[in-house]
Structure 1
Amino acid sequence: MEEQKTFVPSCFAGEKLTEDQPMAKKSGQSFVMSTYRTKIAGHGRLITVTWCKNLLAHGLSISIEGSSAGEDEHSCKVELKPWSFWRKQGSKCFQINGKPVDIFWDLKLAKFSSDPEPQGDYYVVIISDEEVTLHLGNMKKEAYRRTGARPSLLEAVLVSRKEHIFGKKRFTTKAKFDNKGAVHDISIEYTSINGVFSELDDPEMVVRVDGHLVMQVNHLQWNFRGNENINIDKVPVEVFWDVHDWLFSPGLRHALFIFKPCSSLQRSLSSSSSSSSLCSSSQLSSDFCLYIYAWKLE
């Protein structure tokens, strides 16, 4: 499996983060990054939305891809401190290819849990050509009333989602693998005799979806990298894992998991093929991927 480079967002004002000092390694900080493809200023562009959390505040960062002509990306950052109220609602306007693009947000009543991303009572919208090209949150009526924009005929497509999760032996998240399907609870569990790798230990890993066991990897010290096919809502999903650093690297370390659902075309091709793989490696670049960076705490 090809190694994935960890993206490091700059969600918090005045906080410089580099590849040599990634956010996820800072105690108490985590983030969720979602990338969407939609139409902005007359062209298809990628929008990256990052929610960050540290010990004192939440943060929101939005980046809009520039043009192929070398235009810089456009970004908007919001820091949500408990004692600061005014930054929780606002807007920002860009000029992209000579056209106005607006970002509106209302996070005054947003409900946060232990996750970086709010659970409800908020909205974040991006307006281009007087259309809502991206809408996040459950306050859709309030968003349309405030902006006066109309819905876009083309919905934004979620391209990828990257999450950094901290835990000792269990790492949980929620994910949706089909636009018409349900949101599922995903749990990755690591078990060992002594809690650390040793010659006498024989660690294993299991993956559960909605509490049901869907994958089990024994003798993890020999099978620390691999892939396996599972089914979620009758959708074949290929799971890749790399837990090498869990077993063989000292200190705070992370494993990487990739959940890649097959498209309808891939399913039809695989059903008519004699190949045992539901998703061949050459087909893993165009559709949604879920990346989970599971940081193991001692």
Structure 2
Amino acid sequence: MVSASSLLLPSSMRDLASCIGDGAVRVACSSPASTLTSSSGAGSGSGSASTLSVTVSYRATLLNSGASSPPLLLRLTWSHSPVGPTLSFSPSAAAPSVLLRRRRGTRSISLGCVGGGEAETEAESPFVALFWDLTAARYDPGASPEPLYGYYFVAVAGAEVVLAVGDQAAEFVKTKFEGQISKARFLPVARRERVVVADPAAMHTARVRFAEGGPEHEVSVGCATSSGAGGGEELWVSVDGKRAVQARRLRWNFRGNQTVFVDGAPVDVMWDLYGWWFRDPPGCAVVMLRARSALESRLWLEEEGAAPGFSLVVQAFKAPP
């Protein structure tokens, strides 16, 4: 089982989900997303947010290890650094990230005890082989550190490809292994984007799929000063350009949730702005969208037997942490 805590979701969001009930249900239009030049950081209006890092968690189910083998939870983190965009990899839910310093290379990393049982010795621990090439990667200038195209990252464990990311990944696997290696089933299960909001009226946009094989959606999160009765700040979340959530009087309504429907399935939207307003030095504002099955009766179940649905987490800072 992939637990909630393993998905890089801030603890404040899990605490929030345990103490509040479902909000009003609103329907979000699921029309096709408009084309953007990047997967995140695109904005409109008076400004856009600057993306510090993007962390994507993938769940990989090995085909040759038997039904009793737990899935792997692999993480890629794309970050900005003084020398340019960097890539880090984590081979399990509990393992620290390993910085891949070279733009192109190979490396073997121990998977460790990915099943959560007793610790394994170095000799017993399985390994994952990494292959990557970012030398021709292209980025959206000044936006996300995640490449747009021109790259690949491939991970191999137990004679299976457990992760293949990038537009050149399929060609690399075909050339490198010549069809002699199987491909595990893997899919993204969580995405966290950490951004700096220099302009109070900025918005941040990400492109995600809430369901495997489903359409790609454009999710925008923004904050603005309300001109209506009472004034004050308001938070809004849009899906494919359609306003799905709008929370007003944020200094009072700094925590909350609503449920919207995307592609006919419920997506819980939760926000926690306490650190943004009331901590010194300021903390971050957190907005999470999490897809869930219609059979789930609560926003969050830490003890769920099935892996939770896809989650998008946006953490916004007033200044780089």
TM-score, length basis structure 1: 0.72
Give the letter for the 2:311 counterpart: C
Of Structure 1 and Structure 2, which has the larger fraction of its residues in strand?
Answer: 1
Q: 1: CA distance between counterparts of 2:128 and 2:178? A: 12
CA shift for structure 1 position 246: 2.8
- 1:122 and 2:151 equivalent? yes
CA deviations on 1:24-64 (whole Å, 9 max, x unpaired) are xxxx8711111222246944322121111134311111111
Is 1:289 matched up with 2:311?
A: yes
Number of the residue aligned with 1:34:
56
Contact 2:226 2:248 in 1 (8 A): no
Q: For residue 186 of structure 1, what is the aligned residue in structure 2?
A: 219
Q: Is residue 207–residue 216 contact of structure 1 (8 Å, CA) maintained in 2? A: yes
Uncovered stretches (5+) of structure 1, i.e. residues with no partner: 6-27, 67-71, 80-86, 195-199, 271-277
**Is structure 2 residue 25 aligned with structure 1 residue 3?**
no
- Seen in structure 2, the aligned counterparts of structure 1 residues 229 and 4 have a Cα distance that, compared at 3 Å, is closer
Tell me the secondary structure at the aligned position of residue 178 of structure 1: coil
The residue type equivalent to 1:92 in the other structure is: R
Kindly indicate whether the alpha-carbon contact (under 8 Å) linking 2:154 and 2:169 is maintained by their aligned counterparts in 1. no
1:133 aligns with 2:162: yes
Q: How many angstroms does 1:174 deviate by?
A: 1.9
Residue 218 of structure 1, CA deviation:
1.5
Q: 1:93 aligns with which of 91, 108, 119?
A: 108
1:56 aligns with 2:97: no
Partner of 2:191: 161
**One-letter amino acid of the counterpart of residue 139, structure 1:** Q
Q: 1:216 to 1:193 in 2, by over 3 A?
A: closer
In structure 1, distance between residues paired with 2:262 and 2:279 = 32
Contact 2:13-2:272 within 8 A present in 1 as well? no
Q: CA deviation at 1:93?
A: 2.1
Alignment CA distance shift 1:141-1:45 (3 Å):
closer
Contact 2:234–2:247 (Cα < 8 Å) also in 1: yes
SS of equivalent residue, structure 2 residue 185: coil
Query: 1:127, 1:149 within 8 Å by CA — same for their partners in 2?
Result: no
For residue 158 of structure 1, report the CA deviation from its aligned partner.
Answer: 2.3
CA gap 1:100/1:146 in 2 versus in 1, 3 angstroms:
farther
SS state of the match for residue 281, structure 1? coil
2:172 partner SS:
helix
In structure 2, the CA distance between the partners of 1:73 and 1:225, relative to structure 1 (3 Å rule), is: closer
- 1:256 partner SS: strand
* Contact kept in structure 2, 1:121 and 1:139, CA below 8 Å: yes
Contact (CA 8 Å) 1:228, 1:238: kept in 2 or not?
yes
8 A Cα contact 2:161 2:183, kept in partner: no
Deviation at 1:252, TM superposition (A): 5.2
1:250 Cα deviation from its structure 2 partner: 5.0
Match of 1:231 among 249, 261, 265: 261
Distance 1:225 1:147 in 2: 50
Identity of aligned pairs, percent?
A: 27
Q: Is the 8 A contact 2:275 2:282 kept in 1?
A: no
Which amino acid is 1:213 matched to? Answer: R
CA contact under 8 A between 1:260 and 1:284: conserved in structure 2?
A: no
Q: SS state of the match for residue 282, structure 1?
A: coil
Q: Pick from 209, 222, 243 the counterpart of residue 176 of structure 1.
A: 209
Residue in 2 aligned with 1:46?
A: 73
Structure 1 contact 29–54 (Cα < 8 Å) conserved: no
CA separation of 1:38 and 1:3: change in aligned 2, threshold 3 A: same
Aligned to 2:251: 221
Q: Which residue pairs with 1:107 in the alignment?
A: 134
Amino acid at match of 2:154: V
State the Cα distance separating 1:245 from its structure 2 match.
2.8
Change in CA separation of 1:193 and 1:46 when aligned onto 2, cut-off 3 Å: closer
Cα distance in 2 between the residues matched to 1:246 and 1:98: 42
Q: Report the residue type matching 2:272 in the other structure.
A: D
Structure with larger RCO (C-alpha < 8 A, sep 6+): 2
Runs of 4+ residues over 6 Å off in structure 1: none
Distance (Å, rounded) in 1 between the aligned partners of 2:245 and 2:95: 40
Decide whether aligned partners of structure 1 residues 193 and 228 sit closer, same or farther in structure 2, where only a CA change above 3 A counts: closer
Q: Residues 58 and 74 of structure 2 are in contact (CA less than 8 Å); yes or no, is this contact kept in structure 1?
A: yes
Aligned to 2:192, what secondary structure does the other structure show?
Answer: strand
Q: Runs of 5+ in structure 2 lacking a partner?
A: 1-9, 15-49, 112-123
CA drift at 1:149: 6.2
